Amino acid sequence: MSTVKPTRTGDREAGEGSPAYHHGNLREELVEQALKLAEEGGLSAVSVRAAARLAGVSPAAPFRHFPDKMTLMTAVAEEAMRRFRAEIALALAQEVDDDPMLRIRAIGRAYLDWARRNPTHFEIISSRRSIDFEGSPSLGRENAEIQAQIEALLLEAAQRGLLRCNDRHLIQIAARALVYGLARMLVDGHFPSWQVADADIEETMAKVLDLFVDGLIKPRPGPEP
């Protein structure tokens, strides 16, 4: 258990009548507290001051890290993206087959599994009104790297003659629309109105993804009569 020592300086600043405490990881702590606020009350519940209160620091302490709510939410989105990339890397490591279409399917399932387990992260990344996507040094780059990953797999599939459609850019947009739409249906609670019970949602999303990927694959010619 760490020892807390009073100090006059450092990230943690005391409220009136309280000692000040050094807090070496205030930025990371504020990101975690902002995520908790979003999980409990939605994106509108997040503010720099509220995150500071949960972190146990004065209202002024966070502002050298996050001058406003958008910079805080952008940092949360960057952490969410980092965790999402780790989910993709794990899914691809577990896919032992080198078939590019199976690897694309693995990325799609990783996306859906991540959104199912981390709906608040999904919401924060998806709602670009709440973050500075273009101004982030990492969000655009990491998003482009995911797209490049899928493009490389689609190119390999095309070179192997596996694709029914050779417009790889169109396939990428369709794939993005599919997994995003399924995740959005999940987060917004739409599945029950489509007669899908909660216990069946994960399997249903996987089957829809399979249907889409299978539809991209060119049928193999049958045996000669």
- Predicted TM-score (pTM) of the model is 0.81
Q: State the chain's mean pLDDT as an integer.
A: 86
Interval 46-71 mean pLDDT:
88
Residue 6 has pLDDT above 50, yes or no: no
Inform me whether the pLDDT recorded for 23 exceeds 60.
no
Q: Is the pLDDT of residue 225 over 60?
A: no
Report residue 41: phi and psi, to 5°. -130, 5
* Rounded Cα gap, residues 209 and 107, in angstroms: 11
Specify the pLDDT at position 184: 96
Q: What local confidence, expressed as pLDDT, does residue 143 receive?
A: 93
Q: Which amino acid is at 54?
A: L
Q: What are phi and psi of 163, to 5 degrees?
A: -90, 135
Instruction: Quick: pLDDT tens for 201-223.
Output: 999 999 999 999 999 998 876 55
Confidence at residue 127, expressed as pLDDT on a 0 to 100 scale:
79
Q: For residue range 107-165, list pLDDT tens digits in order.
A: 999 999 999 999 989 988 887 888 999 999 899 999 999 999 999 999 999 999 999 99
**5 or 197: which carries more pLDDT confidence?**
197
222: left (phi over 0), alpha (psi -120 to 50) or beta: beta
What was the pLDDT predicted at 12? 41
Q: Report CA-CA distances (Å) from 147 to 104, 140, 172, 219.
A: 11, 11, 8, 26
